[in-house]
């Protein structure tokens, strides 16, 4: 049997419990792991030869990465018809183990007990920081790469193994809020400065051993176990504390718009917990945690943002071909996208040849990396050496001969098939026969562009989003003839630059733009119908979209919208469905209101370019109708129009994996992250209700809402997308 924990007691009387999950680069906690830890704690507390205990990790550079999320799934499964009781009991079991560590066999009057210290060789996340929080003193190695904190909120849950209760009592609700509500992570020095840990030293194990052998009885009593404990910053019934909670509540609701259950539940756990003794607070935390785990939004977020995102990053859909990691990449076009692609490649240690029409233009693109690194240096996130190392990897040129030796080309020149074909041909004359050629086009079909190449099997789309250094999604597009090596090359490249890939087939607008354009268009359509623009924008935000459709079109620019509309119309002819949308944006373009960059669009902007309110002139042309639709109606129009496009992409085979559809939607264009993505959202609604809503929307607003055959069939069979298409990923 494999063991996660081992214990050894030295002649000095210190029992060292070492966590070392077999077969993993970082420790993760499992049910069996908890059982073993519990057993060793019991044994060490009972053994008279043991004077103190140190819990540490056998992994170099880390303590633990968190909980094995299957633990949570298992607790739910074990509960059968009553998952709430089972989850609650499971969490209370974890609390009792950690509380045992914290009390360390002290009696009710805080007498007796053994000092327990925790040693963090590096990264300590989630349960990997909740265990240390239960210990009496935390020692960390001076490892600036280490990340310490409680990131649970990022995947739709909150720290539920006492982290919420302990950290808010340790720091006070206000000081704990960035770590709890934003999942802020810190390196050891910052963690110490913030009071998350106690010591940072070169040899934390020696320091911890020394500490447990010399600790005084008072050193091992937690403040909340002392008589007269008061929460730092004041409890909710204290005037100062009261204001903290009023502010936090407003902040949480402002930020989450009420659609993320975890943040609200966590705040309730902190507030209610602060009113009662510690052990009752843990029970309250466990209740709220249970309620969050049972909320479909939380399981959908964990599934998409944690499990499936990681699976895609690790190559879930990578063809079985040998390692294709990129050594030297040629980037064509040093504009906005080319400069960004150069930056992320150089940061990943890849040699880059950046080519533009003139050497000056190419140098300007290279200077983008210098500027980015300078900002990093100013914020102490980078060093001058790192900047030099990145710049040394980039050659700026206008000479195609410099591309010799590149094993991947990423083309980001003007969005014009003729220009693209010309550069493709020029490149192929200078690179070796194995070089893969990728285009970053956002609208042109890959199969058509591949015609410029003599080896279309080596031609592929690698579609980045802007700004490249910030956007985590990369859409890889297979042309009709794209081969497996090209797909593997693109995936290995995306992995090198640490982004998340999805792989789709070639079709108009691929996947992401195909879904986001209808969202923007639906917003504009509603303006033309006389729906209040404020209602449209707020409805979008209240359903969890990061930007309303009108703000989004202002950001991406009205002229880009006009350009795409013209090109789409030319390609589709009579079948073109968006005349009503064009009327509005063509008029705005005529008015010179090109969006944010022109400081005028659907919104007004001040002299500094800061967005003000919606432009009042809109109402003169499109008066707001007396009767307005309900909030839900507007929200359903805005979400269904995207989700149905995702379903059609699946039906047509553009999308091959719904996990990619969900992860891509959240990372690519911010599709209501609380829902887990469009397929998860439809599963939460249930296919029968979704189909019913489609019928009603189609009747009221037109065939773009017509229920896809696939969804109809699933509604009749009462099926869910994750059961039908990704059963292995259904239970998060």
CB of residue 442 vs ligand NAD: minimum separation in angstroms?
4
The number of residues making up the chain comes to 732
Looking at the Cβ atoms of 54 and 354, the one nearer to ligand NAD is 354
The stretch near ligand NAD (CB under 6 A) out of 90-98, 210-218, 353-361, 450-458 is 353-361
Binding residues for ligand NAD restricted to 89-108, rule: CB under 6 A: none
438 near ligand NAD, rule: CB under 6 A: no
Residue at token pair 């004041």: 234
Site for ligand NAD in 244-263 (CB under 6 A): none
The region of 350-358, 381-389, 647-655, 675-683 touching ligand NAD under the rule CB under 6 A is: 350-358
Binding of ligand NAD at residue 330 (CB under 6 A)?
no
Name the active-site residue from 130, 475, 537, 645: 475
Give, for 437, the enclosing helix (H) or strand (E): strand 436-439
Rule CB under 6 A: say whether 25 interacts with ligand NAD.
no
Question: Which residue, chain included where needed, has tokens 């009747």?
Answer: 699
Q: How far is the CB of 658 from ligand NAD (least distance, A)?
A: 24
What span, in angstroms and rounded, lies between the C-alpha atoms of 83 and 275? 28
Sites for ligand NAD among residues 64-93 (CB under 6 A): none
Q: Please identify, using beta-carbon distances, which residue of 181 and 473 lies nearer to ligand NAD.
A: 473
Owner of token pair 């089972």: 86
| Residue closer to ligand NAD (CB basis): 126 or 501 | 501
CB neighbourhood size of 615 (10 A): 20
CA-nearest of 375, 367, 511 to 443 is 511
Shorter beta-carbon distance to ligand NAD: residue 26 or 471: 471
Q: Is 359 in the site for ligand NAD (CB under 6 A)?
A: no
At residue 483, what are phi and psi to the nearest 5 degrees? -95, 170
Residue 304 binding ligand NAD, by CB under 6 A: no
Element (H, E) at 125: strand 123-125
180, 286, 305, 337: which one binds ligand NAD (CB under 6 A): 337
Cα separation, 501 vs 323, whole angstroms: 17
Between residue 169 and residue 198, which ones bind ligand NAD under the rule CB under 6 A? none
- Segment interacting with ligand NAD (CB under 6 A) among 158-166, 235-243, 411-419, 581-589: 411-419
Q: How far is the CB of 283 from ligand NAD (least distance, A)?
A: 50
Establish whether 253 is a catalytic residue. no
In this structure, what token pair is assigned to residue 150?
Answer: 């409680």
Q: To which H or E segment does residue 55 belong?
A: strand 52-57
Residue of 139, 102, 129, 91 whose CA lies nearest to 226:
102
Region binding ligand NAD by CB under 6 A among candidate stretches 156-164, 189-197, 355-363, 593-601: 355-363
- Please identify which of the residues 95, 136, 463, 636 carries the catalytic annotation: 463
Stretch that binds ligand NAD, among 31-39, 143-151, 274-282, 438-446 (CB under 6 A): 438-446
Element housing 504 (H / E): strand 500-505
467 preceded by a cis bond (ω within 30 of 0): yes
Catalytic residue flag (residue 633): no
Helices (H), 543-607: 549-556, 558-572, 579-590
Owner of token pair 């593997």: 488
Six-digit token pair at 547?
A: 């930007």
Binding flag, residue 471, ligand NAD (CB under 6 A): no
**325 — phi, psi (to 5°)?**
-55, 140
Taking the C-alpha atoms of residue 683 and residue 278, their distance in angstroms, rounded to an integer, is 39
- 212, 231, 293, 413: which one contacts ligand NAD (CB under 6 A)? 413
Cα angle 73-181-164, degrees, rounded to a multiple of 5: 60
Catalytic-role residue among 168, 299, 442, 453: 442
Task: Rule CB under 6 A: say whether 513 interacts with ligand NAD.
Answer: no
- Is 538 a catalytic site residue? no
464 lines the binding site for ligand NAD (CB under 6 A): yes
Residues near ligand NAD (CB under 6 A), total: 22
For the bound state, the minimum distance from the C-beta of residue 412 to ligand NAD, rounded and expressed in Å, comes to: 4
Cα 678–683–688 angle (5° rounding)?
115
d(CA 127, CA 130): 5
**Catalytic residue status for 136:** no
Alpha-helical (H) ranges within 215-318 are 239-256, 261-274, 278-293, 296-301, 309-313
Question: To the nearest whole angstrom, how small is the minimum distance from the Cβ of residue 699 to ligand NAD?
Answer: 36
Helix (H, G, I), strand (E, B) or coil at 67: strand
Closest separation in Å from C-beta 662 to ligand NAD: 21
Q: Which stretch binds ligand NAD (CB under 6 A): 279-287, 388-396, 409-417, 598-606?
A: 409-417
Provide the minimum distance between the beta carbon of 38 and ligand NAD in the complex, in angstroms, as a whole number: 52
Nearer Cβ to ligand NAD (335/577): 335
CA atoms of 547 and 532, how far apart (whole Å): 16
The number of C-alpha atoms within 13 Å of 195 and in the hemisphere containing its C-beta is 12
| Binding region for ligand NAD (CB under 6 A) | 332-338, 355-357, 361, 412-415, 419, 423, 440-442, 464, 466
The residues annotated as belonging to the active site are: 442, 463, 475, 513
């Amino acid at each position: 049997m494999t063991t996660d924990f081992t214990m050894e007691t030295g002649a000095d009387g210190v029992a060292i419990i070492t966590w070392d999950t077999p077969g993993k680069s970082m420790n993760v906690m499992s049910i069996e792991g908890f059982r073993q830890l519990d057993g060793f704690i019991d044994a060490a507390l009972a053994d008279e030869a043991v004077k103190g205990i140190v819990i540490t990790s056998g992994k170099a550079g880390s303590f633990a990465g968190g909980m094995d999320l299957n633990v949570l799934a298992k607790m739910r499964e074990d509960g059968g018809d009553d998952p709430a009781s089972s989850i609650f009991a499971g969490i209370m079991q974890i609390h009792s183990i950690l509380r045992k560590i914290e009390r360390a066999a002290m009696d009710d009057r805080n007498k007796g007990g053994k000092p327990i210290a925790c040693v963090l060789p590096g990264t300590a996340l989630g349960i990997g920081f909740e265990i240390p929080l239960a210990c009496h003193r935390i020692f960390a190695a001076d490892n600036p790469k280490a990340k310490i904190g409680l990131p649970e909120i990022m995947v739709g849950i909150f720290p539920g193994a006492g982290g919420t209760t302990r950290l808010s009592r340790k720091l006070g609700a206000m000081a704990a809020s960035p770590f709890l509500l934003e999942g802020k992570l810190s390196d050891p020095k910052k963690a110490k400065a913030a009071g998350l840990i106690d010591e940072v030293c070169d040899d934390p194990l020696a320091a911890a051993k020394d500490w447990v052998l010399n600790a005084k009885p008072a050193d091992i009593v937690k403040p909340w176990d002392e008589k007269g404990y008061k929460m730092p910053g004041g409890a909710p019934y204290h005037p100062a504390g009261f204001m903290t909670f009023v502010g936090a509540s407003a902040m949480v609701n402002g930020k989450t718009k009420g659609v993320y259950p975890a943040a609200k539940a966590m705040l309730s756990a902190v507030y209610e917990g602060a009113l009662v003794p510690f052990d009752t607070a843990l029970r309250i935390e466990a209740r709220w945690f249970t309620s969050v785990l049972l909320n479909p939004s939380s399981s959908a977020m964990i599934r998409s943002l944690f499990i499936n995102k990681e699976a895609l990053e690790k190559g879930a859909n990578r063809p079985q071909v040998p390692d294709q990691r990129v050594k030297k990449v040629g980037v064509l076009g040093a504009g906005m996208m080319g400069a960004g692609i150069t930056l992320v490649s150089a940061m990943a240690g890849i040699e880059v040849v950046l080519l533009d029409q003139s050497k000056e233009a190419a140098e300007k693109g290279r200077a983008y990396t210098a500027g980015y690194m300078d900002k990093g240096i100013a914020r102490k996130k980078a060093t001058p050496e790192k900047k030099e190392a990145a710049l040394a990897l980039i050659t700026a040129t206008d000479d195609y001969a410099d591309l010799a030796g590149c094993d991947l080309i990423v083309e980001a020149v003007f969005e014009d098939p003729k220009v693209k074909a010309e550069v493709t041909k020029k490149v192929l004359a200078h690179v070796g026969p194995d070089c893969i050629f990728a285009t970053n086009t956002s609208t042109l079909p890959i199969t058509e562009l591949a015609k410029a190449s003599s080896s279309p099997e080596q031609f592929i789309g690698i579609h980045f989003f802007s700004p490249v250094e910030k956007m985590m999604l990369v859409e890889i597009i297979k042309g009709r003839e794209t081969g497996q090596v090209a797909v593997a090359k693109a995936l290995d490249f995306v992995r090198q630059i640490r982004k998340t890939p999805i792989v789709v087939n070639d079709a108009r607008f691929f996947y992401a733009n195909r879904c986001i354009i209808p969202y923007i268009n639906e917003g504009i359509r509603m303006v033309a119908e006389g729906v209040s623009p404020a209602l449209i924008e707020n409805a979008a935000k209240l359903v969890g979209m990061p930007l309303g459709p009108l703000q989004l079109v202002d950001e991406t620019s009205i002229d880009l919208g006009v350009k795409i509309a013209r090109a789409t119309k030319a390609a589709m002819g009579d079948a073109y469905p968006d005349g009503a949308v064009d009327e509005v944006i063509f008029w705005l373009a005529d008015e010179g209101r090109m969006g944010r960059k022109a400081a005028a669009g659907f919104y007004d902007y001040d002299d500094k370019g800061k967005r003000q309110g919606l432009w009042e002139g809109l109402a003169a042309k499109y008066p707001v109708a007396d009767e307005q639709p309900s909030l839900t109606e507007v929200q359903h129009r805005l979400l269904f129009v995207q989700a149905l496009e995702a379903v059609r992409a699946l039906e047509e085979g553009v999308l091959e994996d719904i996990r990619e559809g969900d992860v891509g939607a959240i990372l690519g264009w911010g599709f209501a992250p609380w829902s887990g993505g469009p397929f998860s959202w439809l599963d939460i609604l249930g296919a029968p209700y979704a189909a019913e809503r489609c019928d009603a929307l189609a009747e009221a607003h037109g065939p773009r809402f017509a229920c896809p055959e696939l969804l109809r069939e699933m509604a009749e069979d009462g099926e869910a997308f994750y059961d039908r298409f990704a059963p292995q990923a259904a239970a998060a």
